[in-house]
Amino acid sequence: MCDRDNHTVLADVISKELRVLSMLEEKRTYVHALTHEIINFLNINRDKSIGTRLALERLVAMDLSMNQIMDTPAVGTRHENVLSKAIKEINKPELLGIAHALIRAKKYLAWREDNNNYYQHGDDVGKQYKTCNLHTLLIGPDACGYYQPDFLLGIFILGPWTFYRDHRHAAPELYLNLSEKSNWRLGTQDWQEYPAGSFVWNEAESVHATQVYDEPFISVFIWLENVMAPCVTFPVDDWTIIESNLHRKANS
């Protein structure tokens, strides 16, 4: 009887170990697929932005094979509804490969909020940004996928009716917009709407801001270097008006 009990315990331990191994292999498969769907899209569109070409120059030098994926624990989010809706709204045909890969990988990723972690002390990024922002890293210092000390590639999300205030940072930055539309102010230029599949390239220390309307904003983002340098807000005198207008529309 005692031997049978020991065999049962051993069988349970082996079964659990196999389940953990299976989950790890599944995670590696899906995170690898998502990462390479993004890179494939960048390659196809390499001539649409200087930032795309510069990002690919960094990526081609990395070992992004499946066995390099780290066993970083998954982290869920209180913004699950916003996250799921943002992914569901990716409907441009050229982006469906990324969308489907993201659906499969989502539960294996670590979803984190920026509670002024990326900003210098005392900077006010605005109530709307703090209410609902989300990101996960596929490549970076604490990524769910591949370790790189001075490079970030991930997914970034903002909730509906958010004004992401004007800011700058030492990291050159590339956005690949996955949402149907978002509004951007680059430097002193007028606001401009960008569609799904478009790129936004921000040189190091260039000022930029984003407005999100009735649907969540979702994008791929890449920081090419200087990833530990803090972001700095760049006050503009229309912040109050923009935030009031978004608040009014959200409650109309």
Residue 165 has pLDDT above 70, yes or no: yes
CATH 2.60.40.420 fits 2-250, yes or no: no
Q: What is the dihedral of CA 182, 201, 175, 64, to 10 degrees?
A: 170
pLDDT score of 3 more than 90: no
Q: Quick one: which of 31, 94, 15, 99 has its CA closest to 64?
A: 31
Q: Residue 204 above 60 pLDDT?
A: yes
| Residues forming a β-bridge with 153 | 139, 222
Residue 135: CA count within 13 A, CB half-sphere: 22
- What pLDDT, on the 0 to 100 scale, is given for residue 117? 86
pLDDT at 13 over 70: no
For the chain, the domains span 2-250
Q: Could you give the count of Cα atoms lying within 13 Å of 149 in the half-sphere of its Cβ?
A: 0
Q: What is the mean pLDDT of residues 232-243?
A: 96
Cβ atoms of residues 194 and 218 within 8 Å: no
Of the ranges 15-19, 50-54, 193-197, which one carries the lowest mean pLDDT score? 15-19
* Residue 22 pLDDT class (50, 70, 90 cuts): confident
Give, as one character, the DSSP assignment of residue 72.
Answer: P
pTM reported for the whole predicted model: 0.91
The mean of the pLDDT values for the chain is 92
pLDDT tens digits for range 82-128 = 999 999 999 999 999 999 999 999 999 999 999 888 998 889 999 99
Instruction: List, in sequence order, every residue forming a beta bridge with 112; answer none if it has no partner.
Output: 135
